[in-house]
Each structure stands twice: as structure tokens, then as C-alpha cells.
Amino acid sequence: MATAHEINDIGACAKCAGMLKSLSSHRQNGYLKSEEKYFIVSSCAECLTIYVHRYDSNWSWLDENEPELTEYAEKSENSDTDHDNSDKISINKTNDSAFQIPIYNDIILSYDDLNQIPLLKLKSVFSDAEIQTLVQKSKKEKYIRQYYHRAKKKYKDFEEIFGIKLEI
């Protein structure tokens, strides 16, 4: 959960010694208050490297890492019966310093592409009726034109927020 979006100078880049600018800060709740962790996402003003800085519950610095980019894959419903999970993404939740940021196809053209986007991201921009209409249109089924045109007006907002271009 993002807690702040202020841009502040927070240090020097490990690669080029340029100024690091904070982009956002986040809190990860632990079972106990002392297990709470904080993260700051920053970018170097010179080489544009992105870092994730990890802090403990007292905001004492723990470490920093570059996020790892991975392709997004939905967990299959029968994943516990699959023995070959080489095409699946697994995030090791015990390793707080490893971050995986999903990257998507640049353009969403089909139902399969649309189905790769987490519902929470769609719901943050589109109404339930608009999402249902986008699904119906992408499946080449009958859809309500009014909801489609409302959704289409929000395509640019969705692209600006998530970097995913819809062309359904």
C-alpha cells in the first residue's frame, strides 16, 4: 500500500553517484507491529536506475536492491498438481529483498491478453459493467455499446497509470 508519493532527495546512486529521488513509499504490515517493514522506491536522476530501499519498523535502513522484472503469469488453478512450474512465476515471500515487477505486453488486443491483467488493476479505473463489456467485446460476444464507449474514454488513464495500452 502506497503511503506517500512525494519526490525527495534520499541519497546517492550506487552505480553512478547521481542523486536518488524518492518516487513512493510503501508499508508492509507484519503480524506484530515490530514486524512491519517500509519500502521506498527511488530513481537515479543521472542513470535512471530504479532502487527499492527496505527499512524496519523504526525506519532504520536495512538494504537496497534493484527490482527484478519478470513476465506476468497467472497462477493456474491446478498448480498443486503441476510438477513442471517452469512457466509460472513464484515469488518467495520469505525473501523481502527480492522484488518482482510484472511487465506486460505493450498492447492488449485479445481476451487472452486482457485476462492477464489483474482484476484489481482493471477495477481501479473501470466500473464492473465496463470490465464485463471489455471482456465480452474481446471475446467477440454481444456487448452494451454505451459501457464500451465509457470504458474507451478511460483507456488513456489506464495506460498512464499502468503502462498498459488497451486496443479492444
What is residue 150's predicted lDDT score, i.e. its pLDDT? 95
Average pLDDT value for residue range 65-84 = 54
Q: Is residue 44 part of a domain?
A: yes
Residue 112 sits in the same domain as residue 57: no
The CA-atom distances, in angstroms, between 37 and each of 27, 53, 62, 77, 98 are 6, 11, 10, 31, 14
Residue 112 located in a structural domain: yes
Structural domain of 12: 2-66
Say if 31 falls within a structural domain: yes
**pTM listed for this prediction:** 0.42
- Count the domains in the chain: 2
Whether residue 92 lies inside any domain: the answer is no
pLDDT value of position 65: 86
Residue after which a domain boundary falls, among 66, 92, 117: 66
Is the dihedral angle over the CA atoms 59, 65, 71, 75 positive or is it negative?
negative
In the chain, which ranges are continuous DSSP H helix? Answer: 111-115, 119-123, 128-138, 145-153, 155-162
123/135 Cα distance (integer angstroms)? 13
| pLDDT higher than threshold 70 for residue 87 | no
Residue 31 to residue 126: CA distance in whole angstroms: 33
- Over residues 101-115, the pLDDT tens digits come to 555 546 888 888 888
Distance CA 85, CA 83 (A): 6
Domain assignment present for 146 = yes
pLDDT at 133 over 60: yes
